Chains A and B, each alone.
Chain A
Amino acid sequence: MKTAMDLPVEIEEAVNGIEPIRIAKIGRREFLKLTGLVGGGLMLSFTGLRAAATGGALHPNGFLRIDSEGITLYAKNPEIGQGVKTSLPMIVAEELDAAWEDVAVAQSPIDEATYGPQVAGGSNSIRVNWDLLRTAGATARAMLLGAAAVRLGVPPAELATRDSHVVHERTGTRLHYTDLADAAAAMPVPDASRLPLKAPDQYRLLGTRITGVDNEALVRGEPLFGIDQSLPGMKYAVYQKCPAQRGRVKSFNESEIRQLPGIHDVFSLEGNGNPLELMPGVAIVADSTWAALSAKRQLRVDWDETDAAQDSWSDAVAQAGRLRREAGATRVVESGDVDAALAGSAQRLESFYTYHFASHAQLEPQNCVARFANGAVELWAPTQTPHRGIDNVANTLGIPADRVTVHQTRCGGGFGRRLYNDFMCEAAAIATRVDGPVKLQWTREDDMSHDLFRAGGFHQLEGSLDAEGSVTGLRDHFITFADRGRPVSGGSFRPGVFPSGLIDNLRLEETALEWRTRCGAWRAPFSNVFGFVIESFVHELATAAGRDHLEVMLEIFGEPRWLDPGNPRALHTGRAAGVVRLAAERAGWGRAMPAGRGLGLAFYFSHAGHVAEVAEVSVDAEKKIKVHRVTVAADVGPIVNLSGAENQLEGSVIDGLSTMAGLAVTFENGRVEQSNFDAYPMLRMPETPEVDVHFVASDFPPSGLGEPALPPLAPAVCNAVFAATGHRIRTLPISEEGFSIV
């Protein structure tokens, strides 16, 4: 491996006065060319211009710009609270060797040619952008070193970089990057594949605690979020859709609404047939949010519900009860011979688990500012998927994608809801009927009725133990939902799903009930509920065997190995065992507990993250659970921002606890029965447990932390409740079984 001091050949040649290889002129600005996925990793090369066009600024790629005024790093992905506006630029700064105090961070424009995919989802930002951002920083560093070598007339090998300076130790010379930017800009942009990158032991910034780059603006109440955007002459709109999703407008009290104060217009929209884009509804345009909201309360719509959702949760419960002991309609995972394992077992267990639908409840209700003129539309949108949003809007309006411009704003929570851009499509469609800019504002009630819900589901489990108490077989019949035969989001097993490859005789099969209401990705999709089911049932098996849960878990992991060699998103049993042991050790696993108090352990693997959690709880006679402490151990490779990483784990624990405690969405006649937070009671400060976070310092490629710490929480708490009381919770939320978190 090259050391950090090796320079790419182009820079060496430039320093030595040799005419560098000319790089093809591609366009007016530098851009990154993504050459595609090879072997699961992102390979990339830089193609760029000589910097003459940048006016003396060093701007070799979209991620940084250095001029005589300072160093600016560009954060490419939407910020939804996962901290990427801070952590992604940290990766650039590390390889650039810029002092963090010298750096200004700006949100990058939405520009796929320059930045590649700009998405907040799948805990992917760190994993996917790691090499890209390291290379971006290292590119500029090499050019600065080359410029310094020329200026000082010394070999590059005598130079080092530190704290935004090129340093020549022998003479004690220090040149600040801002003083070198002009000369560095004239260096050739080196080939990314030849750039030296730091080894982890050379990191100065990564792994430290860095506070969020927007913190000060946040505490001053500055307009960072979508909902805060305002344009001169802007009007305000609301949009009422059928409470049963996909219903159509038959008629509405148009003349009455038109006469209300502050109302500019009221009209219905047909919808474009794609429920992820534009559903039918009635738009009200007003001169203030309040005027629009007030008029919406007076709006009376007669809906045609012929094609609308008719979904009923109570019907689904009844159907699942009838179907659970039957064979599943589809076998997704089949290994070994589970029938033989069950038939020949020393002990056989059967359990039925249920979890409800859940809502994203991101705190900032959907909103979007849109301005349509001359066949083009410009949007200011809190979205997790701006590029997809451009396509959605183009499709909705029937205009080319290059007539759609999206500006990204900070998002008041995402959790998966803002992967879907229906609110952008609505704003764009309304804007075509409004002279000037318009801001669409959803209410909380709109959000609750028109979420893309985390699907509920049912699991009939059977497991077998041999005479030694080892798990020999597992069968899971998942009763889930499909929309006209197509499984809803998160409503289907995927090949390789945990615990595939860990239990010799395994059958995962499913039967889908018809469902029309939209479902979508919800923080750690499917893992957030599968973790509860499988990790609770493994504890049931360990208990039936009379064995220690930790011992049984480690036995299931077996020898350290990748379950899918070469796949960086696969489970590694050694890493799994490592976090389970660490969490158990730090939580004092095995210590004696007083009556009514217990420890519970769980592990789950999702989004390339290995996470184990131990919950310590007390339970009283009224089924009130006090969660004293949750100990978390995670292995996600090197940590980029320790403060952000800890915050994500604390938040995942609290989100997990909040959701398992009392959050359920139910449906009757296609309508959501909960309309606001009074019926969807999220966890509050008094119920918050202590959270004790530990990271395994591993040198695997880094992966994200937005999601993988959520799935183990519910089973850890439920296993602890069992340890404390002997009661096995098999329903989420646990309020359905009479439990509460206090």
Chain B
Amino acid sequence: MRLNVNGTEHELEGVDPSAPLLWVLRDGLGLVGAKFGCGISQCGACTVLVDGEPVRSCSYPVAAAVEAEVSTVEGLAEPGGELSAVQQAWVDLDVAQCGYCQAGQIMAAEALLRSNPSPTDADIDRAMAPNLCRCGTYLRIRKAIKVAAAQRAEGGRS
């Protein structure tokens, strides 16, 4: 089975095709940004993009991603390289508390801004509703998305 993650092709051996993408990423490829929270698509901590669309990788069979491009939070910036506008806004606005949900939040925000470069509050609420933050950082997430949108519009970071 071949899986394209963040632009790199991986040859997977002995993987159960019904295994959730989340566990293949975490245990198989060592990409631990996407998190396990509930296992039933309720919390969004495992959110990654499949062909640009946010999916809950905890209940997304890896076989369904084989022909697609999978993007995880690790692929948004080169190691040590410049952060994406969304990542930078998360850092600058000090969004995180425990931070456990934030990789999923960031991927949901990336997907939103790629399809809707200047979202309204209602657009943001709708796009982000699948992602729980147990610490309650929603106000900062909303603000960070607006900051990132503005920066992308100015032609700064992507």
Query: B60 contacts the other chain (Cβ, under 8 Å)?
Result: no
Alpha-carbon distance between A685 and B143 when the two chains are bound, in angstroms: 12
For the complex formed, measure the closest distance between the CB of B70 and the CB atoms of chain A, giving whole angstroms.
Answer: 13
Bound CA–CA A654/B132 (angstroms) = 12
B140 contacts across to A, CB distance below 8 A: 647, 650
Q: Bound state CA distance, A364 and B45, in angstroms?
A: 9
Q: B104 to chain A: closest CB distance in Å?
A: 10
Whether B132 contacts A364 by the Cβ 8 Å rule is: no
Q: Beyond A219-B90, A288-B28, A363-B134, is A444–B100 a contact (Cβ under 8 Å)?
A: no
Pairwise interchain contact B40-A652, C-beta atoms closer than 8 A: no
Chain A residues near B79 (CB-CB < 8 A):
220
Query: Could you say which residues of chain A place their CB within 8 Å of the CB of B95?
Result: 215
Most chain-B Cβ atoms within 10 A of its Cβ — which of A211, A224, A647, A678? A647
Restricting to B106-156, which residues have a CB under 8 Å from any CB of A?
106, 124-126, 128-129, 131-142
Among A444, A647, A658, which residue has its beta carbon within 8 angstroms of that of B37?
A: A444
B30, CB-defined interface residue at 8 Å: yes
Q: Does A643 contact B (CB under 8 A)?
A: yes
The residue of chain B having its C-beta at the shortest distance from the C-beta of A680 within the complex is B42
Nearest CB of chain A from residue B147's CB, rounded to whole Å:
13
- How far apart are the CA atoms of A223 and B141 in the complex, in Å? 22
Question: Which residue from chain B places its CB closest to the CB of A217 in the assembled complex?
Answer: B99
Of A79, A289, A685, the contact of B128 (CB 8 Å cutoff)? A685
User: B32, A223: Cβ atoms under 8 Å?
Assistant: yes
Judge if A413 is at the interface, Cβ distance under 8 Å: yes
Across the interface, B99 reaches (CB within 8 A) one of A214, A365, A691, namely A214
What chain B residues lie within 8 Å of A222 (beta carbons)?
33
The answer to whether B37 and A209 touch across the interface, beta carbons within 8 angstroms, is: no
Task: Given A411-B98, A685-B128, decide whether A658 and B43 contact each other with a Cβ distance below 8 A.
Answer: no
Considering the chains assembled together, what is the distance between the CA atoms of A676 and B59 in angstroms? 14
Tell yes or no: A19 within 8 A of B by CB: no
B126: nearest chain-A partner, CB-CB:
A686
- Does A464 belong to the interface (CB within 8 Å)? no
Name A51-98 residues within 8 Å CB distance of B: 79-83
Q: Does B52 contact A (CB under 8 A)?
A: no
Q: Does A362 contact B (CB under 8 A)?
A: yes
Contact present for A691 and B139 (CB under 8 Å): yes
Q: Distance (Å) between the CB of B110 and the closest chain A CB?
A: 11
- Asked if A221 contacts B32 (CB within 8 A), the reply is yes
Q: How far is the CA of A83 from the CA of B142 in the complex (A)?
A: 20
CB closest residue in chain B, given A365: B36
Task: Give chain B's interface residue range (CB within 8 Å of chain A).
Answer: 35 or more
Interface residue? B38 (CB, 8 A): yes
| Residue pair B97, A81 in contact (C-beta under 8 Å) | yes
Q: A655 near B: Cβ within 8 Å?
A: yes
* Contacting pair B99 A677 (CB below 8 A): no
Q: Which residues of B contact A411 (CB under 8 A)?
A: 98
Task: Please tell me which stretch of A225-233, A486-494, A548-556 contacts chain B, meaning at least 4 of its Cβ atoms lie within 8 angstroms of it.
Answer: A225-233
Docked complex Cα distance between A734 and B71 (Å):
40
> Nearest-CB distance from A229 to chain B (Å)?
9
- Pair B35/A363 contact, Cβ less than 8 Å: yes
Known: A220-B87, A361-B134. Is A215-B96 also a contact (CB below 8 A)? Answer: yes
- Does B26 make an interface contact (CB < 8 A)? yes
B73 touches A221 (CB 8 A): yes
A493–B81 CA distance with the chains assembled, in angstroms: 54
B142 lies within 8 A of A220 (CB): no
Which residues of A have CB within 8 Å of B28? 288
Q: How far is the CB of A449 from chain B (nearest CB, A)?
A: 14
Q: Closest Cβ of chain B: how far from A687's Cβ, in Å?
A: 9
A103 near B: Cβ within 8 Å? Answer: no
- Assess whether A682 is in contact with B132, with CB atoms less than 8 Å apart: yes
With an 8 A cutoff between CB atoms, is A604 at the interface?
Answer: no
Those of B72-114 within 8 Å (CB) of chain A:
72-74, 76-77, 79, 83, 87, 90-92, 94-103, 106
Roughly how many angstroms separate A209 CA and B34 CA in the complex, as a whole number?
28
Q: How far is the CA of A294 from the CA of B39 in the complex (A)?
A: 12
Q: In whole angstroms, how far apart are the Cα atoms of A222 and B33 in the complex?
A: 6
User: Chain B contacts of A653 at CB under 8 A?
Assistant: 136
Is B99 a contact partner of A221 (Cβ separation < 8 A)? no
C-alpha gap A644/B94 in the complex (Å): 8
Name B's interface SS.
Answer: loop
Give CA–CA (A363, B135) in the complex, Å. Answer: 9
In the complex, whether B27 has a CB less than 8 A from a CB of chain A is: yes
CB-CB under 8 A from A361, the residues of chain B are 134
Are the C-beta atoms of B132 and A218 separated by less than 8 Å? no
- B19 close to A (CB within 8 Å): yes
Name, among B73, B135, B139, the residue most crowded by chain A CB atoms within 10 Å (CB to CB).
B135
How close is A709's CB to chain B, nearest CB, in angstroms? Answer: 11
Whether A395 sits at the interface, judged by CB under 8 Å, is no
User: Once the chains bind, are A658 and B100 in contact (CB under 8 Å)?
Assistant: no
With A221-B31, A221-B103, A290-B19 known as contacts, the answer to whether A211 contacts B92 (CB < 8 A) is: yes
CA distance A212 to B20 in the complex (A): 32
Q: How far is the CA of A209 from the CA of B94 in the complex (A)?
A: 9
A287 vs B83: C-alpha distance when bound (angstroms): 34
Which A residues are CB-close (under 8 A) to B67?
none
B142 in contact with A685 (CB, 8 Å): yes
Given the interface pairs A261-B16, A290-B16, the reply to whether A688 lies near B27 with Cβ below 8 Å is: no
Within 8 A of B (CB), among A678-725: 678, 682-686, 688, 690-691
Query: A80, A650, A676: which contacts B136 (Cβ < 8 A)?
Result: A650
Contact B98–A363 (Cβ < 8 Å)? yes
Docked pose: A415 CA to B135 CA in angstroms: 9
Within the assembled complex, what's the spacing in Å between the Cα atoms of A319 and B112? 51
Decide if A236 is an interface residue (CB 8 Å cutoff).
yes
Is B129 in contact with A211, judged by CB distance below 8 angstroms?
Answer: no
A221-B103, A289-B27, A678-B42 known; A81 and B135 CB under 8 Å?
yes
In the bound assembly, the distance between CA atoms of A236 and B137 in angstroms comes to 32
Q: Are B99 and A690 in contact (CB under 8 A)?
A: no
Q: Is A80 touching B74 in the complex (CB atoms < 8 A)?
A: no
A215–B91 alpha-carbon span in the complex (Å): 5
User: A224's contact among B20, B27, B90, B99, by CB below 8 Å, is which?
Assistant: B99
Cα distance, A149 to B106, chains bound together (Å): 50
Q: Which of A251-294 contact B (CB under 8 A)?
A: 261, 288-291, 293-294
Q: Is A443 an interface residue (CB 8 A)?
A: yes
Asked if B36 and A227 sit within 8 Å, CB to CB, the answer is yes
Check if A365 sits within 8 Å of B37, measured CB to CB. yes
User: Contacts A221-B32, A221-B74, A677-B43 given: A643-B94 contact, CB under 8 Å?
Assistant: yes
The distance in angstroms between the C-alpha atoms of A651 and B31, with both chains bound, is: 28
| Residue in B26, B97, B131 whose Cβ sees the most chain A Cβ within 10 Å | B97
Query: Which of B23, B35, B83, B136 contacts A655 (CB under 8 A)?
Result: B136
A sample of 20 inter-chain contacts (CB < 8 A) reads: A81-B96, A83-B97, A218-B90, A219-B102, A230-B30, A288-B19, A288-B27, A289-B36, A291-B16, A363-B101, A444-B39, A650-B140, A651-B135, A654-B139, A658-B136, A676-B39, A677-B40, A677-B132, A682-B132, A691-B139
20 more CB-based (< 8 A) A-B contacts, given A211-B94, A227-B35: A81-B135, A218-B96, A219-B91, A219-B106, A220-B33, A220-B83, A227-B32, A261-B16, A290-B27, A293-B23, A444-B40, A643-B94, A651-B97, A676-B38, A677-B38, A684-B128, A685-B129, A685-B141, A685-B142, A688-B142
Query: 5 shortest A-B CB distances, which residue pairs?
Result: A221-B33, A654-B136, A81-B98, A412-B100, A81-B97
Report A's interface with B, CB cutoff 8 A: 79-83, 209, 211-212, 214-216, 218-225, 227-228, 230, 236, 261, 288-291, 293-294, 361-365, 410-415, 441, 443-444, 643-644, 647-648, 650-655, 658, 676-678, 682-686, 688, 690-691
